[in-house]
Amino acid sequence: MPAQNIYILGIESSCDDTAAAVLHNGRILSNVVATQEIHQKYGGVVPELASRAHQQNIVPVIHEALKQAGIDKKQLSAIAFTRGPGLMGSLLVGTSFAKSMALALDIPLLDINHMQAHILAHFIEEEGFQKPQFPFLALTISGGHTQIVKVSDYFEMEVIGQTIDDAVGEAFDKSAKILGLPYPGGPLVDKYAQQGDPKAFPFPKPKVGHLDFSFSGLKTSILYFVQKQVKENPDFVQENLEDMCASIQATIINILMDKLKKAVKHTGIKQIAIAGGVSANSGIRKTLKEAEHKYQWKTFVPKFEYTTDNAAMIAIAGHYKFLKGDFADMGVTAKARIPM
């Protein structure tokens, strides 16, 4: 770590979490997230409501992050914000706030790619957590993305496989919805799966190109299966919720592991890091740890609070951009889609 004191404020507002974090020389001083409960009753994120909630939350969240860090805003070295990818209306709130704050404090601005940040969360200085070494493979699994990324350096990342339809988080959430679980259903599927039999209901695995993924077929087969069962027994879901969740989760994990094995074979890289909201999944974490012995991989699972959307990951990405002197222009604009 450099001898200088680098304080980075990270701001994240790409989807439905308003988050701010303060990082000192790569170490987290505060990590505040305001999750927007409002979307639950609509069964998914409503972009208009998300952007309005960001506007309400951003000032108190940043204020709280600075307070918890115990520093004054004048001590900040730079401000890092999520430029994209994400929902335009949501991104605009964080982007314009970051720009005006950097301008007012007369400090540099750092524009961050949300997907790169999910991966760079592995570089936050944390006791008991090792950092991956370059090159490594990252499996980024979130509500919006499913990618296998070859990471050659902090900002040198190449997508070598990705979903051709739904993201893995969507597969969890949509399956959960079919089972009548509230949004976002991923964590609930995880919870019920822990009590269920993963072999109870076998679902087919999709056939897609080399390192790519497909999850829309799984959702459809779950839907047809449930409809058929409910016709015979209206209480089917209630009576089999745990087994259904365990079976769905096992199918998803199998799909992910198949492609990871192929990616390792293809690249010769045996260091695997997972990132993104779905890497909070306990089944995925367990399977990956088992792969260390089974396939002699070295695996990296981030600390729980750095998996779902957070600003600590934006701040650490900002830290490395700051070290490179790679600052954003004040004219920078939010972008809904940005390549890795």
Binding residues for ligand KG4, per CB under 6 A? Answer: 15, 142-144, 169, 172-173, 184, 186-187, 189-190, 276-278, 280-281, 308-309
Q: Which stretch in 84-92, 125-133, 139-147, 153-161 sits in contact with Zn ion by CB under 5 A?
A: 139-147
Using CB under 5 A as the binding rule, whether residue 142 contacts Zn ion is answered as yes
Say if CB 292 and CB 298 are below 8 A apart. yes
Question: Whole-angstrom distance between the N-terminal and C-terminal Cα of the chain?
Answer: 26
16 binds, among ligand KG4, Zn ion, none (CB under 5 to 8 A by kind): none
- Residue 280 touches which of Zn ion, ligand KG4, none (Cβ within 5-8 Å per kind): ligand KG4
The answer to whether 298 and 210 have CB atoms below 8 angstroms apart is no
* 13 touches, from ligand KG4, Zn ion, none (C-beta below 5 to 8 Å by class): none
How many C-beta atoms lie closer than 10 Å to residue 68's C-beta?
15
173 contact, one of Zn ion, ligand KG4, none, CB 5-8 Å limit per kind: ligand KG4
Q: Which range binds Zn ion by CB under 5 A, 230-238, 242-250, 281-289, 309-317?
A: 309-317
Q: Is the peptide bond before 184 cis (omega within 30 degrees of 0)?
A: yes
Q: For ligand KG4, which is the closer residue by CB, 189 or 260?
A: 189
In our burial notation (b when 16+ CB lie closer than 10 A, e otherwise), range 1-10 reads eeeeebbbbb
**Rounded to 10 degrees, what is the CA torsion of 183, 186, 187, 188?**
70
Q: In whole angstroms, what separates CA 125 from the centre of its chain?
A: 19
Phi, psi (5° rounding) for residue 213? Answer: -120, 155
Near Zn ion by CB under 5 A: residue from 16, 17, 173, 309: 309
Q: How far is the CB of 54 from ligand KG4 (least distance, A)?
A: 14
- Binding positions for Zn ion, rule: CB under 5 A: 142, 309
